[in-house]
Amino acid sequence: MPEKQTSITPQPVDCHVGRRISQLRSERGLSPRELEKKADMAPGAVAALEKGSLSAGPLDLVYLARALKVGPADFFAGLAGAKAADGKNKKPASIAPSEVEAFLDAYFGLSDPQMRKNLFNMVKAMARAESDR
């Protein structure tokens, strides 16, 4: 299940990923509920992700990618132009899809679930610290 967004305003990356999920889902003629079933997600999860009100974790992105028959990096295509739901252009992440894929490969290469969780929490903390600057 996606992690709950901690801030009131959706983050630019969440809005961007949500738009990409919606676009890819629509291109395949799937309803949100059909995608949830294919990706083994809770009812309402896809709609919340598409609105940017929930953050998708790495495993969520992998399951969604498999269900949509794309790579996880496809959710980040065009990220540099992402805007928050309030329309303000926040400092976008400059990351190439190949970097996302390499990061996810390395992440899932860790066999210890606790180490994956620690890495994920560390990256989130670093992102929060950077956005607070």
Q: In this predicted model, what pLDDT tens digit does every residue of 6-61 receive, in sequence order? A: 445 778 888 889 999 999 999 999 999 999 999 999 999 999 999 988 888 888 99
Residue 4 in this model has a pLDDT that exceeds 80: no
| 74 pLDDT tier (thresholds 50, 70, 90) | confident
pLDDT of residue 93 exceeding 80, the answer is: no
- Total-model pTM: 0.58
Backbone angles phi, psi at 54, to 5 degrees: -130, 145
Domains of the chain: 3-131 (1.10.260.40)
**119 contact partners, CB below 8 Å, separation of at least 6:** 107, 110
